[in-house]
Amino acid sequence: MDQLFDEMTIILKGKQSKDLKVEKRKGNVETFKKQTFTPNKNNLNNRKLDECTEATSHSNVSLSLSNIIKRTRTSQKLSQKQLAQRINEKLAVIIDYESGKGIPNPNILGKMERHLKVKLRGKNIGTPL
The tens-digit pLDDT sequence of the chain (129 residues) is 444 545 555 555 555 556 777 777 777 766 666 555 556 656 666 666 666 666 677 788 888 999 999 999 999 999 999 999 999 999 999 999 999 888 889 999 999 999 999 999 888 888 888
CATH superfamily of 63-116: lambda repressor-like DNA-binding domains (1.10.260.40)
What distance in Å separates the CA atoms of residue 110 and residue 122, rounded to the nearest whole number? 11
Q: What pLDDT does residue 123 have? A: 87
Q: What pLDDT does residue 1 have? A: 42
Instruction: State CA 16 to chain mean position distance.
Output: 39
How many CB atoms neighbour CB 68 within 10 A? 20
Q: Name residue 35's beta-bridge partners.
A: 5
Q: What pLDDT does residue 83 have? A: 92
As to burial, measured by CB atoms within 10 angstroms (0-12 exposed, 13-18 middle, 19+ buried), residue 98 is buried
Within the chain, all domains assigned CATH 1.10.260.40 are found at 63-116
Q: What pLDDT does residue 2 have? A: 47
What distance in Å separates the CA atoms of residue 17 and residue 34, rounded to the nearest whole number? 22
